[in-house]
A and B are shown apart, each in its own frame.
Chain A
Amino acid sequence: MLEVRQQYTFYGILLYVTATIFVLYLAMGQPEGPVWKGLFWMIQLFICVNAVAKSFLQEGRGRLLYFYTIAGARDFILSKLLFNALLMILMSGVSLVLFLFMLGDPMGHEGWFVLITCLGGVSLSLVFTFLSALAARAQQGAPLMAILGFPLVIPQLLLLNRISTIAFEDVLQGGLGWMLWIMTGLDLLLIVLAIILFPFLWKD
């Protein structure tokens, strides 16, 4: 995959994560819970745009043709989704550690938040993998990603932000567990859509 061949991109994103969070620390110090939460998800969004979005955009035409000959469309998109999900979990994990280290720890239930972070990272990566495939076929690149992606991730980010309250408050509000299921359902929906629709993007 791309990250193994071009390792500088991988380290590039790591550096990007570290630098952004450090700047955030310099600017914000150690903020309160809601601000912390909001900042965290915004940073996740930008990491995802940088890390996942280029998975199709930076592949050369020849290499896509090569993948086309060795793998079916479904296998290819599944492997891409899986790889990007893992990559995003890793990146989210790194940024969570950095956040805890620099911006402090306003949470009461860290375990929950780790779980939510993984879920959120996976969801964001699913959306952006699919959109990256679309944008790459349209030969448009990054601006198109932004146009298509941001409306699609708003509901996810709102949902994630709300779910994160689980980790911050001692008293659990009713309905939050439900949202966790909705989020998982949304992810499954995205995977199914990607599997069904990708073959139509693939043949050219």
Chain B
Amino acid sequence: MEGLTPITYLCPSKKNAMLRQTWWKILCVLLLAYTVIAGFLGAVPAKPIVNESIRNLYFHVAMWFAMMIFLSVSVVYAVRYLRKPNHKDDIYSVEYAKVGIVFGTLGIITGSEWAGYTWGAFWSNDPKQLGAIIAMLIYYAYLVFRNGIPDMDKRARLGAVYNIFAFAMLFPTIWILPRMVESLHPGGMGGNPAFKDLDPQMAMVWLVGAIPGWSLLGAWIATLRIRLSLLAERSYASPKDRH
């Protein structure tokens, strides 16, 4: 029995090999189902102003967590590409960036909706909103920039360079600047505490259900898109032709 990890020991047959690959997708569906059901039906503390809209915590905040994760993964692949050019890394990098951008956009939309019911306006030029939209514009520019370069290797290299640049700009725009000024958003200097007294039951749904659930969903989308890109790549150029 030497050399067998616990998982192979538990799942020796070929049928279970499939389970080994898909367990996280099943987990993702379960977690999201839990998030949505417990998120909409579970008890939440009645707080002034936010009231029932506090349930958006499971969606809005989790979107930003997922975005940060995917953009970080994307920049890691960009660095890997620059260190040792490999076309696969470029595909990984761009697909993770795209998923990150989708989650960031959803984060802005859910945030704006939340602001509409608690701050009184869907868009109020709050520093946090501005920072987020600027960060997203920088990343939209990444996609436009990439599409503008016809040559594949050049596109990959310049895209990776800009990706690192954009990731570095993410920190001032969403992490540093909004914290320096007065903001209605938690985390600014407006004295709006967010997680100081989070209800334990809510923390459970949020930490166990929402954040891993949405992140796994994003990873699922990204891996599907990566497989699609790799297949599309293979169909018009056999691997031998490429360097």
Which residues of A approach B to under 8 Å, CB–CB? 130, 134, 137-140, 144, 147-148, 150-152, 154-155, 158-159, 162, 175, 178-179, 182, 186, 189, 193, 197, 200-201
Query: Are A197 and B164 interface neighbours, CB within 8 A?
Result: yes
A138-B148, A148-B145, A152-B138 as given contacts; A193 in contact with B165, CB under 8 Å: yes
The listed residue (B82, B145, B176) touching A182 by CB distance below 8 A is: B176
* Distance of B174 from chain A, by nearest CB (Å): 10
User: 10 new A-B pairs (CB below 8 Å) besides A151-B140, A182-B177?
Assistant: A134-B158, A138-B158, A148-B141, A151-B134, A151-B138, A152-B169, A154-B137, A193-B168, A197-B164, A201-B157
Query: Are B180 and A201 interface neighbours, CB within 8 A?
Result: no
Grouping DSSP codes into helix (H, G, I), strand (E, B) and loop, the A interface class, with mixed when no group exceeds half, is: helix
A138-B149, A200-B160 as given contacts; A178 in contact with B180, CB under 8 Å: yes
The listed residue (A134, A151, A175, A186) touching B180 by CB distance below 8 A is: A175
**Chain A, Cβ-Cβ closest to B165:** A193
B231 interfacial by beta-carbon distance below 8 Å: no
* Distance of B243 from chain A, by nearest CB (Å): 15
Query: Are B154 and A138 interface neighbours, CB within 8 A?
Result: yes
Complex interface bits, B125-158 against A, C-beta within 8 A gives 1, otherwise 0: 0000011001001101100110011000010011
B172 interfacial by beta-carbon distance below 8 Å: yes
Query: Are A193 and B164 interface neighbours, CB within 8 A?
Result: yes
Chain A residues with CB under 8 Å of B160's CB are 200
A144-B148, A186-B172 as given contacts; A179 in contact with B180, CB under 8 Å: yes
C-alpha spacing A94/B128, complex, angstroms: 35
**Chain B, Cβ-Cβ closest to A151:** B137
A138-B145, A147-B144, A148-B145 as given contacts; A200 in contact with B138, CB under 8 Å: no
**Chain A, Cβ-Cβ closest to B166:** A152
The listed residue (A130, A140, A158, A201) touching B148 by CB distance below 8 A is: A140
Query: Are B130 and A158 interface neighbours, CB within 8 A?
Result: yes
Query: Are B158 and A154 interface neighbours, CB within 8 A?
Result: no
Closest 9 CB pairs of A and B: A151-B137, A151-B138, A197-B161, A138-B149, A154-B134, A148-B141, A200-B82, A147-B141, A155-B173
* Distance of B79 from chain A, by nearest CB (Å): 10
C-alpha spacing A139/B173, complex, angstroms: 29
Query: Are B162 and A148 interface neighbours, CB within 8 A?
Result: yes
C-alpha spacing A138/B181, complex, angstroms: 37
A138-B149, A151-B138, A155-B172 as given contacts; A130 in contact with B177, CB under 8 Å: no
Name 17 A/B residue pairs within 8 A (Cβ), A-sorted. A134-B145, A134-B161, A134-B162, A138-B154, A148-B162, A151-B137, A151-B138, A155-B169, A155-B177, A175-B181, A186-B172, A193-B164, A193-B168, A197-B164, A200-B160, A201-B157, A201-B158
